[in-house]
Amino acid sequence: GSSNPGLTQLQSISNRSVSVILCFVYKVEHGFATASVLKDSSTMVVVEEEIQHLGIFDVDPSLGQFKDHFVYRWNKYIEQKSLIEKYEGSLEEFALGYLKFGFNREPGGIVYREWAPAAQEAQLIGDFNGWDGSNHRMEKNEFGVWTIKIPDSGGEPSIPHNSRVKFRFKHGNGIWVDRVPAWIRYATVDPTRFAAAYDGVHWDPPPSERYEFKYPRPPKPSAPRIYEAHVGMSSSEPRVGTYREFADNVLPRIKANNYNTVQLMAIMEHSYYASFGYHVTNFFAVSSRSGTPEDLKYLIDKAHSLGLCVLMDVVHSHASNNVTDGLNGFDVGQSTQESYFHTGERGYHKLWDSRLFNYGNWEVLRFLLSNLRWWLDEFKFDGFRFDGVTSMLYHHHGINMAFSGTYGEYFSEATDVDAIVYMMLANYLIHSLLPDTTVVAEDVSGMPALCRPVYEGAVGFDYRLAMAIPDKWIDYLKNKTDDDWSMKEIVWSLTNRRYSEKCVAYAESHDQAIVGDKTITFLLMDKEMYSGMSDLQPASPIVERGIALHKMIHFITMALGGEGYLNFMGNEFGHPEWIDFPREGNDWSYDKCRRQWNLVDTDHLRYKYMNAFDRAMNLLDDKFSFLASTKQIVSSTNEEDKVIVFERGDLVFVFNFHPENTYEGYKVGCDLPGKYRVALDSDALDFGGHGRVGHDADHFTTPEGIPGVPESNFNNRPNSFKVLSPARTCVVYYRVEDEAETLDEEMTKEKEAAAATQVEIEEAAIQAVGVIVPMGISDEDELEGTGDSADDDQFLRRKQSCRCIC
């Protein structure tokens, strides 16, 4: 019944081609089934002719040498999916596990179920029974599922909303232990007790307290421009920010900068704050540090009202090692068949100190697939970023691996087929429930077919993160002088991706901002950021270089690095310093675990220039959709001039990385003949530049070479025009058509609207925190200017608007 043609094709292949010979054990009770993990002896016969229809071999014929691998994992996928459909009804119904497990209302009371086959006895305890479970013993069925029904009392639930609960059970050693329920939807910690463990909380608010969504999901953008954010560290104050504060204060900033997607980190509950949310303890619970489930719904609804899609950073690659308040607490030494995790060394990640899932286990599949559906259905997320995919793809988890791109590295005995089958099921499910979704894989290995549809025999992600790009920029900024930068190497790093699989490019994310590393801005300007960012005084050479390269690095990454773009919260305006979560080593300080929005809101600080350019970058894509264009042609990488020229869509990009040379009448190639004008100019006054490029100039093309003979053209382009290319600038040109004047007017109005929004943000910030004197500026400077009329005149000139259409 899906509207997705790919899903229809997959169903057709499944129905026509699969003949299954199964060895399994299944039993059904209470409307749900449990099957044993299939033994190696189980087989599947697939008609050879139908295997030829796996589209991945047409997309990349080189994969044909690994046909046996693809056939094997396709068979495993169809086998698992067929079992689920036969004994659970459908994959979609299977993923409704949260309606059976955990706490759910049924006629006359609350029913609680927990899968814990290793338990010998079990009780439900909590505030409702004084933490005495002797009268609330649970019953176990033959699948290891424990159940208890708590009848209502006087027509009211016996377990009050927002009251604490835990699962108490006795394991094989005769020891009783208390654990947070695996399917718990909210968990909190006693703030008065140091290092206290989390308690499960029964979350079932009355109708008057439930948040009701008001706005529909926005349409899927043709190319995601993602704003990666951490709600907890989004406050300007040294404390944990809340979901509602983020919705009211940060979302308008994201919208004003023309992003179309928000990616939220650290939503799943994690007891260790400094893990950045990646050591999840409670998979169905909203992180309680920032508020309640209803508060998160408010945030997502507010984002939708602004036309922003919301992705969730989901962590299914591993789980926290915590025992008392995490899923690991259910592992008491039983076999892997009765556990969420693998046993022995296979069940532990050596570098992350965390537990690894057994993706071949029926109940693990139910748990994880239901987890995805829970976040989509209950909170209206629009998609996911899957964390740690490389670790899932291989038994070696990518540890000590330097992937060279040789196909044999990806398809061998080192490949974890169970994990791949899980991701295929997950992507099929997500796209079936929400055809207009976006699912991004964090994979550093570059596995082929990761980001092609499942019906082709691929894994099914929509995008992968282009993780090698930030490493290249860090290498250049740390180890090379400007004269040593190679234009060819930069272009190769940005374009080295599989043409048939989409990438999200980024110059830096949260990874590059963690303590011990440096952001691009800090690598460029370092201590000058503390004293040299005042616009009331001339910029030092370090600051001028830093701002210029910050704009160029982020923009060329966006324009050439992928089919989507990502920026981490604060990097758009060059947020200084690193991120350091409160911990014992820094005396539990929040000082560097926040965002200093006052820096970009203060008009006489240069941070505003980087922020304005970031806004213009996104607006350019909003108007010309170059990220979604498949036309990407690099026509020149001139090492001597330090100039890169390329086309994306019908736009022509000219990047001059030379530290000193400005080129007048510089010839650039293009495809279409006609008249070109400036669309975006990093040297404009609005962006902290010198205003050297004339935005009113018309650039007329000249035909090159012999028509129909590309090798006779200029840089293999049939036309060319001449430009002014100042040192350390990037300028984008668009081809003028009949409606160009109207386009100019529309984009001018967009700029004015964005500026008005920024004023509202700044006024709100001032009302919230008062006037803040930013670092590097004295009270005297702030109130009186520099006192130098020439400098004040220069400041006024910089206030002039640029005249490019962005």
The two beta strands, 176-179 and 163-170, are antiparallel
CA–CA dist 677, 679 (Å, integer)? 6
Closest CA to 288 of 380, 184, 151: 184
As a 3-state breakdown, the chain gives helix, strand, coil percent values, each rounded to 5, of 35, 20, 40
Which residues lie below 8 Å from residue 235, measured CB to CB, with a gap of 6+? Answer: 241, 242, 245, 594, 595
What do you get for the CA distance between the two ends of the chain, in Å?
44
- The answer to whether residue 694 sits within a structural domain is yes
Does one domain contain both 694 and 655?
yes
Residue 698 identity: D
Q: Is 6 left (phi over 0), alpha (psi -120 to 50) or beta?
A: alpha
Give me Rg for the CA atoms of the chain.
28
- The answer to whether residue 405 sits within a structural domain is yes
CA–CA dist 685, 608 (Å, integer)? 12
Beta-carbon-side half-sphere exposure of residue 289 (alpha carbons within 13 Å): 21
Look at the chain and report how many structural domains it folds into.
4
CA–CA dist 315, 270 (Å, integer)? 11
- The answer to whether residue 364 sits within a structural domain is yes
Residue 519 identity: T
261: domain CATH number is: 3.20.20.80
The confidence score (pLDDT) of residue 42 equals 39
Instruction: Give yes or no for a contact between 539 and 532, defined as CB atoms under 8 angstroms apart.
Output: yes
Backbone angles phi, psi at 606, to 5 degrees: -75, -5
- Furthest C-alpha separation in the chain: 91
Which range marks the domain in which residue 658 is found?
Answer: 627-741
Does one domain contain both 608 and 573?
yes
Q: Is 531 helix (H, G, I), strand (E, B) or coil?
A: helix
The confidence score (pLDDT) of residue 425 equals 99
Q: Is 624 left (phi over 0), alpha (psi -120 to 50) or beta?
A: alpha
CA–CA dist 190, 199 (Å, integer)? 8
DSSP 657-721: --SS--EEEEEEEESS-SEEEEEEETTSGGGTS---S-SS--EE-EE-SSTT-GGGSBTTBSEEE
- The answer to whether residue 455 sits within a structural domain is yes
Does one domain contain both 392 and 501?
yes
CA–CA dist 3, 288 (Å, integer)? 37
Q: What angle do CA 344, 347, 348 make, to 5 degrees?
A: 100
* b/e code 48-73 from CB counts within 10 Å (16+ = b): eeebebbebbebbeebeebbebbbeb
Closest CA to 225 of 493, 555, 546, 450: 555
Backbone angles phi, psi at 459, to 5 degrees: -85, -30
Positive or negative: CA dihedral 267, 269, 274, 275: negative
Tell which of 623, 653, 682 closes a domain: 623
Instruction: Give yes or no for a contact between 675 and 698, defined as CB atoms under 8 angstroms apart.
Output: yes
CA–CA dist 550, 554 (Å, integer)? 6
Instruction: Give yes or no for a contact between 507 and 470, defined as CB atoms under 8 angstroms apart.
Output: yes
CA–CA dist 460, 464 (Å, integer)? 11
Instruction: Give yes or no for a contact between 459 and 74, defined as CB atoms under 8 angstroms apart.
Output: no
Q: 10 Å Cβ neighbour count for 581? A: 20
Q: Where are any strands of DSSP class E within 419-545?
A: 438-441, 463-465, 503-505
- The answer to whether residue 220 sits within a structural domain is no
Burial class (CB in 10 A: 0-12, 13-18, 19+), 14: middle
Does one domain contain both 588 and 439?
yes
The two beta strands, 43-46 and 18-21, are antiparallel
Q: Is 458 helix (H, G, I), strand (E, B) or coil?
A: coil
| Joined tokens for residue 181 | 């329920």
CA–CA dist 146, 137 (Å, integer)? 10
- The answer to whether residue 71 sits within a structural domain is yes
Instruction: Give yes or no for a contact between 266 and 322, defined as CB atoms under 8 angstroms apart.
Output: no
Burial class (CB in 10 A: 0-12, 13-18, 19+), 785: middle
| Joined tokens for residue 149 | 């029904």
| Joined tokens for residue 97 | 């596990």
Q: What angle do CA 42, 91, 26 make, to 5 degrees?
A: 45
- The answer to whether residue 784 sits within a structural domain is no
The confidence score (pLDDT) of residue 47 equals 44
Q: 10 Å Cβ neighbour count for 468? A: 15
Which secondary structure element, helix H or strand E, spans residue 796, and what is its range? helix 789-798
Does one domain contain both 609 and 632?
no
What residue spans of 306-412 are helical by DSSP H?
Answer: 362-379, 389-393
Catalytic residues: 387, 442
| Joined tokens for residue 37 | 């993990």
- The answer to whether residue 440 sits within a structural domain is yes
Does one domain contain both 372 and 512?
yes
The confidence score (pLDDT) of residue 805 equals 53
CA–CA dist 25, 45 (Å, integer)? 20
706: domain CATH number is: 2.60.40.1180
Does one domain contain both 171 and 266?
no
Does one domain contain both 408 and 467?
yes
Does one domain contain both 189 and 261?
no
Does one domain contain both 364 and 276?
yes
CA–CA dist 717, 710 (Å, integer)? 7
CA–CA dist 550, 546 (Å, integer)? 6
DSSP 414: T
Q: Is 324 helix (H, G, I), strand (E, B) or coil?
A: coil
Instruction: Give yes or no for a contact between 563 and 621, defined as CB atoms under 8 angstroms apart.
Output: no
128: domain CATH number is: 2.60.40.10
Residue with tokens 């800090």: 522
Does one domain contain both 56 and 140?
no
Instruction: Give yes or no for a contact between 438 and 382, defined as CB atoms under 8 angstroms apart.
Output: yes
The model scores a pTM over 0.85: yes
Mean pLDDT by 10 residues, the chain (806 residues): 40 38 33 36 43 83 95 97 98 98 97 97 98 98 97 94 98 93 96 84 97 98 98 95 98 98 98 92 98 99 99 98 95 93 96 97 98 99 98 97 93 97 99 98 97 98 97 96 97 95 96 82 94 96 98 99 98 92 88 94 97 99 98 97 98 98 97 97 98 96 83 88 98 85 59 64 51 35 35 36 48
Task: Give how far Cα 222 sits from Cα of 92, 438, 564, Å.
Answer: 27, 10, 9
CA–CA dist 187, 180 (Å, integer)? 8
Does one domain contain both 616 and 632?
no
Q: Which residues pair with 439 in a beta bridge?
A: 384
Instruction: Give yes or no for a contact between 679 and 806, defined as CB atoms under 8 angstroms apart.
Output: yes
Q: Is 28 helix (H, G, I), strand (E, B) or coil?
A: strand
DSSP 106-158: ETTEEEEEEE-TT-SEEEEEEGGGTT-GGG-B-EE-TTSEEEEEEE-BTTB-S
Instruction: Give yes or no for a contact between 546 and 454, defined as CB atoms under 8 angstroms apart.
Output: no
DSSP 624-644: H--TT-S-EEEEEEETTTTEE
Torsion (CA) 714, 715, 718, 720 in degrees, nearest 10: -60
Tell which of 161, 177, 209 closes a domain: 209
CA–CA dist 184, 171 (Å, integer)? 21
Tell which of 573, 607, 623 closes a domain: 623
